[in-house]
Structure 1
């Protein structure tokens, strides 16, 4: 990871000008290979002067597109960063104002503060460094506890419900906000390179689970490979209940704050680069199948009902009817669309169970002209097999594949 202090200071001068003057920067850390971010992240301590007073400090996380001309040429980095900037500059402030106007208690606010953004050769977003407030990642190699799972589901329920209430009560405003909020349209609706990656990973997981599950279950899993294009087409053409989604719901995009007994009491959701208007089932299926334990997968119906109750309660708190998205429709959509999250686990579980040195290096792969970044070996086959076995069994038992 290339680090240029003068360039970093220049970015922060621009993004923090409302908060700090005459700044001095000290690099205190950076993201590591295997963290899974679509850019570089620098953690920086900033000393300066408050606009109307004495000395002041800030601890920030600086997210920027990778310093690679080849990577920018071969991947849609600018589109991803532009999408995330739009979320922080337009979507989230609108959601905050809507909740404020309705006097909502325990409002959704589970995203880090964004101090500013820049566009140029390298796109930049500057956030508060939540680690300095005690927020931590959950170990990606372990399924989350039920407490972590319910905390995330509650925040997703609030976040999705804001879309429902806003489009119910201020349809024109919501339409203007999300009318063009479709990153897949911006990326182009032609050939999807992710489909080939998923097909390869589905085959790989099928081979990994040979002799671990009944053959008829594995046959259902392998048939997902033939359904990849259809599943993506169904998602793109879906005309049912839609909300603004997070889009990237794996372990490393949740930061938790715990009490003295290590119980999670707050969560902050990060990385909104592929946020878009879509069914909330996409966020739910991605998160549930990527992050929950075998015990919780065996309790899938109760987990889904917990989300829907939180969603309905928050809808009514904002002044809309829970009938905007009835439970029957919610479960019908789950049956239709949850294959999305199930498919993704064939790739996500490899990243979750890989050692740092095994994980793919996106920039290096692009510079070498090799874009098959997810075809890598995981050393801990036992852990990968254990996680995937529970997922495939759950999907089969619930007739989702």
Structure 2
């Protein structure tokens, strides 16, 4: 048996219902530096000593981060994800099976065990790599094929929440209250980090040809944290349970022998909360799409809404009563800045050279992570970052979203 930490051993025992002695444990490589925001992933395989059964798990463990600068609520992130897996998603699954003749949307990794012991929170999830799911190369924009599937799957995911709320409002209110919106407090902790990225982005704009864009973006940048905090607290009437952390590293994709995309999964529900679907959609789109996709925003929103509508119909619900397309468009204009704010941070991280990737502890301890000295210029692909975020800023300006 491979030597694994006692906390991992104990939760694996829970995952196999106390039969851990019937298995040999083989630990694979852990996640790479910077790939886990607040946690470390331990990849393990269990082989049954008395049969051919192989179990492949990801044990997601809380990082023991202590920062003299920021009181980051690491436990809150894990407890929120545990709440999603234990107090929210099981109800949604049962609701689907009861209403859809046993069928349920298969878009989220199975969770086999959780532990919420103080400062030692962890989860056991299925390892999707053994089902031929793979990560997307984060430095590349998402393909049109991927974006179409993601919009459709978010339409189905959000529809379950909308239908549950419409049919069982009291129960929905009770279970959705288990989730916390952790984004406002988290973003405030990274105010300096966001400010420096905004300053870098301003330098990409041409003062002679884009003076009006600069004026708009500077106005946004001066209050970006406050804008994000306000817009992440949805005040409208079309709320749903959200994924919450929607960049491409929190998704896995499956392809057939012809390299055609066939399926996907959503990962990491530490920031799951209740709010406008626009928060999920704008976050994933703006942090993953190229200019050609941004230019067709309306087509993709209709694709999402068609998927939402069809799924709601299966539950006997009408999208015109629950979330009309016009309401989606209005919410996008009012709330897409949340996704835009996150996208600037995400693209900066995506273009960081692998040797210079920082984990959360590094970011918290460094006081000049994004300084403009010569050395920092070598830490990321500045040209790719410039092209990507400039297209995004111009998209926001041209559509009057800034």
User: Fold-level match, TM-score > 0.5?
Assistant: yes
**2:201 corresponds to:** 205
- More displaced 10-residue stretch of structure 1: 203-212 or 26-35: 203-212
**2:359 corresponds to:** 361
> Out of 328, 349, 355, which is 2:347 matched to?
349
**1:331 corresponds to:** 329
Q: CA RMSD in A?
A: 2.6
Matched, 1:282 2:244: no
Q: What SS class does the counterpart of residue 291 from structure 1 fall into?
A: coil
Matched, 1:172 2:175: no
Q: Kindly tell me: are residues 28 and 176 of structure 1, through their superposed partners in 2, closer, same or farther at Cα, counting changes over 3 Å?
A: same
Shift of 1:198: 2.3
Q: Kindly tell me: are residues 223 and 19 of structure 1, through their superposed partners in 2, closer, same or farther at Cα, counting changes over 3 Å?
A: farther
Matched, 1:57 2:58: no
User: What does 1:239-388 align with in structure 2 at a 5 Å threshold?
Assistant: 239-323=236-320, 324-366=322-364, 369-370=365-366, 378-388=379-389
**1:11 corresponds to:** 11
Matched, 1:66 2:27: no
**2:391 corresponds to:** 390
2: distance between equivalents of 1:29 and 1:303? 38
- Provide Cα deviations, 1:144-191, integer angstroms capped at 9, x if missing partner: 11110111111111111111111111111101111242233xx88699
Q: Kindly tell me: are residues 188 and 335 of structure 1, through their superposed partners in 2, closer, same or farther at Cα, counting changes over 3 Å?
A: closer
Kept in 2: contact 1:360–1:374 (CA 8 A):
no
**1:113 corresponds to:** 110
- More displaced 10-residue stretch of structure 1: 315-324 or 269-278: 315-324
- TM-score, normalised on structure 1? 0.90
Q: Kindly tell me: are residues 62 and 388 of structure 1, through their superposed partners in 2, closer, same or farther at Cα, counting changes over 3 Å?
A: same
Shift of 1:106: 6.9
2: distance between equivalents of 1:183 and 1:295? 32
Shift of 1:276: 0.4
**1:226 corresponds to:** 222
- More displaced 10-residue stretch of structure 1: 69-78 or 31-40: 69-78
Shift of 1:392: 1.1
Shift of 1:395: 1.2
Kept in 2: contact 1:285–1:340 (CA 8 A):
yes
Q: Kindly tell me: are residues 26 and 191 of structure 1, through their superposed partners in 2, closer, same or farther at Cα, counting changes over 3 Å?
A: closer
Kept in 1: contact 2:82–2:123 (CA 8 A):
yes
> Out of 142, 145, 155, which is 2:143 matched to?
145
Kept in 2: contact 1:33–1:356 (CA 8 A):
no
Q: Kindly tell me: are residues 130 and 389 of structure 1, through their superposed partners in 2, closer, same or farther at Cα, counting changes over 3 Å?
A: same
5+ residue gaps, structure 1, are: none
Shift of 1:274: 0.5
> Out of 217, 220, 223, which is 2:213 matched to?
217
**1:159 corresponds to:** 157
Matched, 1:22 2:22: yes
